[in-house]
Homo-oligomer: A and B are copies of this chain.
Amino acid sequence: MAPERSKTKGTPRTRTEKVHHALRSAIIEQRLAPGVRLPEDTIGESFGTSRTIAREALGRLAVEGLVELIPNRGAFVANPSLEEGRGIFVVRRALERAMVLELAGRIESDIAARLHEMVAREAALASHNEAEAIRLAGEFHLTLAQLTGNPLLIRYVTETVSRCSLVLAMYGRPHSADCGAREHAAVVEALIAGNAEEAAELMDRHLADVASRALLPARAQKDIREVLSAYAKDIDLD
């Protein structure tokens, strides 16, 4: 027989999981820049474990799309192209639209209070601490996902939020991620009121705005491929 379901797989228990989560955080928080090389023994030494652990964690991050694994060459922090970045936002919008539709009208009053408090904190921090505000904004979306109780939706939203923040860090203009609090508040109101379609529309616009504000200009100097590919076409190496 199958084992009983693990309740809510709390804090990671094995070293592999710990390193996995730690690396993910480091990537999402931009402590590890896109394209950076991630050698196994360096990671092992950093965390005080063997290469085995580092290796496993890297493999899992590769499945999540946060790391690129090249056989016999090693692992690198994912370095998505602008085009891929747009694609990720497309998926995220679809997912969060569905998420909001699921949630509308099903918010208990105590949950509503929690959401209100969350948005208020966002608004309060927006002007002071930008890094913290960005983190809170992401957490808002993750909290909503968890409220659906849909495991796959939770996983996908978590992944897309992670990767979107990576993309924004690469291509986004500074300050492009703020102004979220007011829009988040509007979504929360619509959710509580039970206006499903309105909530979905608000969320969709919110994310579309974030994406377009940040991603429209195709000049992202951090990725020279974007620049060079235009020139490469006109060159004949043979």
Question: How many chain A residues touch B (Cβ–Cβ < 8 Å)?
Answer: 50
Q: Is A174 engaged at the interface, CB distance under 8 Å to the other chain?
A: no
Please report the C-alpha to C-alpha distance between residue A30 and residue B3 in the assembled complex, in whole angstroms.
19
| Interface presence of A163 (CB below 8 A) | yes
Question: Is A230 part of the contact surface with B, judged by Cβ < 8 Å?
Answer: no
- Distance of A41 from chain B, by nearest CB (Å): 17
| Contact across chains for B63 and A64 when beta carbons are under 8 A apart | yes
Nearest CB of B to A1, in Å: 7
Could you tell me the distance between the alpha carbons of A60 and B61 in the complex, rounded to whole angstroms? 9
Q: Assess the B34–A2 pair: CB atoms within 8 A.
A: yes
Q: A227: shortest Cβ distance to chain B, in Å?
A: 13
Q: In whole angstroms, how far apart are the Cα atoms of A234 and B150 in the complex?
A: 26
A150 contacts B70, CB within 8 Å?
no
| A153 close to chain B: CB less than 8 A | yes
- A–B complex contacts, Cβ < 8 Å, 16 sampled: A1-B35, A13-B71, A56-B56, A59-B60, A63-B63, A65-B151, A84-B150, A87-B148, A87-B150, A87-B151, A90-B98, A91-B150, A93-B98, A94-B98, A152-B160, A156-B156
Known contacts A59-B59, A93-B98, then 18 further A-B pairs from the complex at CB < 8 Å, ordered by chain A residue: A2-B35, A2-B76, A3-B68, A3-B76, A5-B79, A5-B81, A6-B70, A14-B71, A60-B63, A63-B63, A87-B153, A90-B150, A91-B150, A91-B153, A91-B156, A94-B94, A94-B95, A94-B97
Residues of A within 8 A of B (CB): 1-3, 5-6, 13-14, 16, 34-36, 52, 55-56, 59-60, 62-65, 68, 70-71, 73, 76, 79, 81, 84, 87-88, 90-91, 93-95, 97-98, 102, 148-153, 155-156, 160, 163, 224-225
